[in-house]
Structure 1
Amino acid sequence: MSALLVTAGCGPRQAWLGPVSADTYRSFLASRTGQALGPSFLQCPSWALVKPGWRPRLLGWGAGDGSGDGSGDGSGRGEPRGVALVLLRQFPGTRKSFAYLPEGPVTDWSDPDIDAWLTPLLRHLRGLGAFAVRIGPSPAHRRWDAAALKSATGLGRRLSDVLACEVDPLGTVVAERLRARGWRRCGEGPDGGGDADAQPRHVLRVPLAGRRADDLWSGLNQEWRRNIRKARKSGVEVTVGGAADLPEFFRLLRITEERDGFRLGRSLEYYQRQYAALNAEQPGRMRLYLARHEGEVLAAHTMITVGRRAWYQTGASADHRREVRPSNALQWRMLQDAHQQGALEYDMRGVPSTLDPEDRAFGLTRWKLGTGGQVVETLGEWETALDGTANHTLYRAFQLYLARR
């Protein structure tokens, strides 16, 4: 589909929205690194290669008359002002698709004229056969410091019971703008239910900007520092592995899933595809860290870096010799490496919303809080059904389909 020409705002400003090349897309992402933390790895072109069963589209929008070829070289199109990796999932038995923009689109959410790109984006996706759209706006909503949450734990307690240390005004504004346009936040249906977010709404982030290596160490709680020292004294060795080590990582991941009672539903081939795709796009983008003790790999964690952000994505560990604290040693090395590479933030990804010490899930929150980071509530994911009664009916049917899966 060719670019759409739109007239946005109160004046005669012309803009385009349509497909862009992967090079143009990556160039735009690189240009944002100096302005902010940068985009999520889920919005990189390489992520499209990780998700089989989804049909990817790279879109961009900006000023110009829309007559160019998507190269972003100024011939008809200006440089993009926003981009989006769109994943389309066909609903079985139909020609219609669900459009998903994981932790995207990548745009200036502070711009009050979101209709300048949001309206043509929805029109374009409707033209691709989408009956509903889910997005993940980047602004945060609320933040809690580790110290505040440590004193707020208790029977039946949840994050929502604790006064936030900070409320992001931009997040509040973006949420109001989306609601005013008929978008629904996932998990907040009319009956209080609705689809849950596909990506974690609550994450643990360790700020790195302006901190020295000594600051990172002093930011750890006493238990973390003690466990790191114990790992070092016990002879735990942390190294960066490669593609050949992914089978060992996956073996430990299956042990972890069985022990902790969860199932990611991913195969070894999934991680091999992810490792190959991300590192082909940018060498070193995805790293596999291994912790060995007496020659045996006891834990393995993956880290992804895009721009000036780093993420701890997936962790796995053995059931035995846990007393030598291989996971603490891994995280400390990953945190140091992220800092040395110039990351402004180390994102440890999802934490549950419970603050109940009797709840097994709280153990993960407690462990991550030991790094001295902040629990951040993102805006979460938002959905809208596109115009038409048939699309609304199909949207409800698709929600039931996902729930069964």
Structure 2
Amino acid sequence: MAITTATPRPAAPAGTAAALRVRPLPPAEHLAFLRGRRALTDAGHGGQVSFLQTPAWARVKDGWTAEGLGWFDELERLVGTALVLHREAPGVRRTFAYLPEGPVIDWSAPRLEGWLDPLLAHLEACGAFAVRMGPPLAYRRWSAATLKDATGPGRSVHEVLPDRVEPVGAVVADRLRTAGWSRCDPGQGGGGGDAQPRLVFEIPLAGRDPEHVWQGLNQEWRRNIRKAARAGVQTGVAGPAELPVFHHLLGITERRDGFRLGRSLEYYERQYAVLNEEQPEGGMRLYTARYQGEVLAAHTMLRSADGARVWYQSGASADHLRQVRPSNALQWRMIQDAQMAGASAYDMRGVPATLDPDAREFGLLRWKLGTGGDAVEMLGEWERPLPGAVNRSLHKAMRGYLARR
């Protein structure tokens, strides 16, 4: 029977007429399904379609093997997908299975086990000893205004009453706990917490025109963007030939701000080539801000396969001439381009949870709060060892390894 891609509508609840089946999925069909998810994404049924769940991401990652999987209903319609990364445990031919910001399924389905049980059965048959996944669902939201009002010594985002609790995220969290999944919280049995940021910052774009987005910026952001324009800062999309300049500036930024991503130039070159091969319309873009011919800032932007979301992935800037505000100008250009491309949200990725103005890391949150967006706590990553004493032992050892990393 021919395999067809489902139309963008909520899938029938699992476990009604017939169980869903999981099997390997060719990359072309996988990508076609993700491209058709926009209606479900905007409706909130399936969560986000992350760049980490595209077939191309398997070719970006080093040290992992990968497989694409599809969920099929009783009519052989493709109704869900997953990119699974596998890392083999040393000395044994068993793997730790990881679904970053996935899978892409109908998380609002009334019987979640109808989706997850066939996934676990497939991974166990393939030799996995444990599974980690990151449901791409928002859990709680705080507006920029709420967090600005809550700023103070020793304060944290998690101590502040959220403006909104997302109902699908809250229900899924309860269902996962009931089904034996454990949230990857730091300090609880090792593991080091989430591999992907749990607290992110996003600017809503759906239903807003450019003037509304501009008015959402605080006075400091608007002033800095105007200052960059008066100084003659030029922003634009650059090609892969400018990636060495970006990587050089990234090193400067890491030393200045006290963090280390550990990503090589070759990593970004591979990412750029692979993501744009999969999405020629711009799976990954490099933006630069120039002043008097010199690149002072360079940022990377990623686009979801369904076009609903754009991510500001990595930002880099020089130490000198910061007074001409190249990073503010560059972000404003990227936000405008995301809106013109029809994205529903501009995702600025991770932010720290501290609201203490004396904490060094608060500067990043303060900068992003100025855009007038929302801090969003995602549902986070969840783990479950597969049945058997050996699997539980391997899972415990892997969590210790991740904690040490």
Return the TM-score normalized by structure 2: 0.93
| Alignment partner, residue 243 of structure 2 | 246
Residues 113-139 of structure 1 show CA distances to partners (whole Å, capped at 9, x for unaligned) of: 111121110111111111111101122
Determine which of 25, 32, 49 is the counterpart of 2:30: 25
Distance 1:350 1:11 in 2: 39
| Alignment partner, residue 365 of structure 2 | 365
Structural mapping, 1:2-401, within 5 Å: 11-37=16-42, 38-64=48-74, 78-187=76-185, 190=188, 194-283=191-280, 284-306=282-304, 307-401=307-401
Amino acid in the other structure paired with 1:308: A
> Residues 278 and 220 (structure 1 numbering): CA distance in 2 closer, same or farther, change over 3 Å?
same
> Residues 11 and 33 (structure 1 numbering): CA distance in 2 closer, same or farther, change over 3 Å?
closer
Residues 356-391 of structure 1 show CA distances to partners (whole Å, capped at 9, x for unaligned) of: 001011100000011110000000111111111111
- Secondary structure of the 1:275 match is helix
Q: Which runs of 5+ in 1 are unaligned?
A: 1-7, 65-76
> Residues 14 and 170 (structure 1 numbering): CA distance in 2 closer, same or farther, change over 3 Å?
closer
Question: Following TM superposition, by how much is the alpha carbon of 1:11 offset from its aligned partner in structure 2, in angstroms?
Answer: 4.7
Distance 1:316 1:138 in 2: 27
> Residues 190 and 371 (structure 1 numbering): CA distance in 2 closer, same or farther, change over 3 Å?
closer
> Residues 10 and 50 (structure 1 numbering): CA distance in 2 closer, same or farther, change over 3 Å?
closer
Question: Following TM superposition, by how much is the alpha carbon of 1:305 offset from its aligned partner in structure 2, in angstroms?
Answer: 1.0
Distance 2:15 2:88 in 1: 37
Distance 1:249 1:104 in 2: 29
Amino acid in the other structure paired with 1:200: P
Distance 2:377 2:63 in 1: 30
Distance 1:118 1:17 in 2: 10
RMSD of equivalent CA atoms: 1.4
Q: Which moved more, 1:182-191 or 1:377-386?
A: 182-191
Q: Which runs of 5+ in 2 are unaligned?
A: 1-12, 43-47
| Alignment partner, residue 4 of structure 2 | none
- Secondary structure of the 1:348 match is strand
Distance 1:15 1:399 in 2: 31
Amino acid in the other structure paired with 1:40: S
Q: Which moved more, 1:38-47 or 1:246-255?
A: 38-47
Distance 2:393 2:402 in 1: 15
Distance 1:106 1:240 in 2: 30
Distance 2:61 2:142 in 1: 33
**What stretches of structure 1 move > 6 A for 4+ residues in a row?**
none
Distance 1:194 1:264 in 2: 19
Amino acid in the other structure paired with 2:201: L
Distance 2:171 2:15 in 1: 20
Distance 2:14 2:99 in 1: 24
Distance 1:91 1:10 in 2: 34
Distance 1:181 1:257 in 2: 41
Residues 296-330 of structure 1 show CA distances to partners (whole Å, capped at 9, x for unaligned) of: 11110001111221000000011111111100000
- Secondary structure of the 1:59 match is strand
Residues 328-373 of structure 1 show CA distances to partners (whole Å, capped at 9, x for unaligned) of: 0000000000000100100000001100001011100000011110
Return the TM-score normalized by structure 1: 0.93
Question: Following TM superposition, by how much is the alpha carbon of 1:403 offset from its aligned partner in structure 2, in angstroms?
Answer: 2.5
